[in-house]
Structure 1
Amino acid sequence: MIPPPDSLLRYNPPVLVSRRTEKRSPGARPLKGTPPPPPRTATAAEAAKPPQELLNAILPPREWEEENQRWVQEVSSAPSTRLEVVHLQEQLDLRLRQRQARETGICPVRRELYAQCFDELIRETTINCAERGLLLLRVRDEIQMTIAAYQTLYESSVAFGMRKALQAEQGKSDMEKRIAELEEEKQELERQVSEQKAKCEAIEKRENEKRQIEEKKHIEEVQFLKRTNQQLKAQLESIIAPNK
């Protein structure tokens, strides 16, 4: 297992506590790989504990395995000078640049580095004043709880957005299918309209031709009757004229 990376939090040199082949005692702490218990907030009653024990309660030691050997590294109980605090600030700025942390917005790298820096400040403060360190610990835990709540809210909103996007995509697919059906129905209705127009035009044409034939026939009949009427009138006049 790879040893933990360097941290802005100051640690003591690692200590070999056991080998993989050795039989572990019943009260031994779980090896690396077993999920560690969640960090707990130390209480004011623990302020009377020795500095190293109090620091271990606030900032649990790091554990890892390397070449079948189990190593433990506790946080340092050595106080920090003013120059070391200045160096901490320089290291923070340097690692922010090296790891290309974003200056604004959500950035896991920036959050991790600032969390390490805050833990180091808690360590330094706890060595000088245990009560002040415990108060800073409460502030840190409250910040972590708030960030976790916002993260849960963000994940829920992302999931909600994904569901709405999928629903919208499904609705879009249904609407596109409905549009295609309506387009086909429209084309079918247009075809039927074209057929009815063609039939109507054919009927109108046939009726016009029939009307023209009827009108021509009627005119011919009228002319025939007129000629007949004139002939009969002439005959009648020729019969009546000699008797006068």
Structure 2
Amino acid sequence: MAEGTLPNNQLTLVKYDNPTLVTTHDKKAQKRHLQAMGGRPTTPGFPQAPNIPGLSGPGNVCQDAGMSKKETEEILNAILPPKEWEEEGKLWRQMVSSVPATRVDVINLQEHLDMRLKQRQARETGICPIRRELYSQCFDELIRQVTINCAERGLLLLRVRDEIRMTLAAYQALYESSTAFGMRKALMAESGKAELEMKIQEVIERKENLERDTQELRIKIEQLERKYNEQKDAEEKKHAEEIQFLKRANQQLKQQLESIIAPKKGG
């Protein structure tokens, strides 16, 4: 990497001036410089309006429509803070460019956007952090170009950008909370599922035991019915034999009686 060049992880579609070497490493001096440039901390997810010279009030109403180049640069630096990085023990700073954009710059911006989307393999549809980052850089560059020609219009676009970011942050927080809620419900359902599976297994085992008992009882019933039928057949056979014996005995007695009575009638 050449001296004073922007690191690859800080490449952006926003147009910046050439880097300048910061001769001091005094952190307090850097902090005072950033405060003078309008930079101040913001609450994550709820962007605050930058401290813009020439503007006042909660609505950021412009007091002076005719702004000088210096005031425009201050507004640009407040909207897009300078980039700083260390290289070989040296601190470099790169300010946002205040050069007005031409039609060719807009065309080049579109080409660079398409090229970056292709290089970083951003997805064309759905949620894609890479695509969102590149389009956010493109929007910042458009804000820079518009602010140079009309600071009021640029500040209005800044409000639109911050509102979009705040809405996306709210949706992201909602998505994360809903994801956590879904995970908790899934874990609860998983634990309940294991309990239900145990109950189902118990019911299945009980059903199998009952079916086994039913089968055993059915076999016993069949055995009892067969035994009863055999006893019934034996008793009926015995009863029939007794009847036949009694009939024969009766017939013999009848014949004997007739033989006794017949001679008496003849005499």
What TM-score does the superposition give when structure 2 sets the normalisation length?
A: 0.78
Counterpart position of 2:72 = 51
The match for 1:28 is 31
Q: Deviation digits for residues 46-67 of structure 1, max 9, x if unmatched?
A: 7557122211211122233333
Aligned match for 1:11, one of 7, 16, 41: 16
Structure 2 residue runs of 5 or longer lacking an equivalent are 1-5, 35-39
Measure how far apart 1:189 and its partner are. Answer: 1.3
State how 1:208-219 maps to structure 2 within 5 Å.
208-219=229-240
Q: Using the aligned pairs only, state the percent identity.
A: 61
Q: TM-score, normalised by structure 1?
A: 0.84
In structure 2, the CA distance between the partners of 1:30 and 1:176, relative to structure 1 (3 Å rule), is farther
Residue 214 of structure 2 corresponds to: 193
Query: Which of 37, 45, 50 pairs up with 2:41?
Result: 37
Unaligned runs of 5+ in 1: none
Residues 162 and 25 from structure 1, CA distance in 2 versus in 1: closer, same or farther, beyond 3 angstroms?
Answer: closer
Secondary structure at 1:28's aligned position in 2? helix
Tell me which residue corresponds to 1:138.
Answer: 159
Gap change, CA 1:161 and 1:131, over 3 Å in 2:
same
Task: List 4+ stretches of structure 1 deviating above 4 A.
Answer: 46-49
Aligned in 2, Cα 1:116/1:215: closer, same or farther, shift over 3 Å? same
**Residue 127 (structure 1) aligned to one of 106, 131, 148:** 148
Output one character per residue of 1:174-205: Cα deviation in whole Å (capped at 9) or x when no partner. Answer: 33333322222222112111211111111112
Confirm or deny that 1:61 pairs with 2:90: no
Give 3-state SS (helix, strand or coil) of 1:25's partner.
Answer: helix
Aligned counterpart for 1:73 among listed residues 79, 87, 94? 94
Residue 64 of structure 1: SS of its match in structure 2? Answer: strand
Q: Corresponding residue for 2:200?
A: 179
SS in 1 for 2:17: coil
Aligned residues: 237
Cα drift, residue 103 of structure 1:
2.0
**Structure 2: distance between partners of 1:181 and 1:30:** 74
Q: 1:127-152 CA distances to partner (integer Å, 9 max, x unpaired)?
A: 12111111111111111112122222
